[in-house]
Amino acid sequence: MARARRRPAGGKRGYDRTDRLNSLLFQILAEELEVIDDDRLGFLTVTGVEADRDLTTAKVFITSDAETEGLFEALEEHRPRLQKAIAGQTRVRRVPPLRFVADDAVRSADRIEAILRDLEAGDA
């Protein structure tokens, strides 16, 4: 009996299906959030998307200059619109539910940069 050969992880393009989906979701969400007119979002930036392999959820990492509490409330209100945009622009059987998460890496990088500037100013 012949065994079916499995394709190596990463597919034809050299990277995993989930990575391609994350990239596509990132692009769709960034474009869709750009056209939403809601002051509660402030200057919002999507910094990354991480979907689970089984598409049970997709974490959307964001940064914004808006108040955090109002920001997440607004994002939850716009979530159905965002999921509908994903469904319309992709060929996935199931659109993963979006979960919005503050990107602490950006905040940490800003803090480190401020500390380094202070140290540099102290040396002068």
49 beta partners: 60
Residue 8 resides in a domain: no
- pLDDT tens digit sequence for 45-96: 999 999 998 889 999 999 888 777 789 999 999 999 999 999 999 888 889 9
Residue 68 belongs to some domain of the structure = yes
Instruction: Decide if 37 is inside a domain.
Output: yes
Number of domains in the chain: 1
For residue 5, tell me if it sits in a domain. Answer: no
Range of the domain at 92: 17-123
* pTM summary value: 0.73
Answer yes or no: is 3 within a domain.
no
DSSP 9: T
Q: Read off the CATH number of the domain in which 112 is found.
A: 3.30.300.20
Domain membership of residue 89 (yes or no) is yes
Sorting pLDDT into bands at 50, 70 and 90, what band is 6?
very low
Whether 6 is covered by a domain: the verdict is no
Write the DSSP assignment of 50-110 as a string of letters.
Answer: EE-TT-S-EEEEEEESS-HHHHHHHHHHHHHHHHHHHHHH---SSPPPEEEEE-HHHHHHH
Q: Do residues 51 and 96 make contact, with C-beta atoms less than 8 angstroms apart? A: yes
- Residue 2 in any domain: the answer is no
Split at pLDDT 50, 70, 90, the class of 5 is very low
Question: How far apart, in Å, are the Cα atoms of 2 and each of 5, 6, 9, 122?
Answer: 9, 12, 21, 71
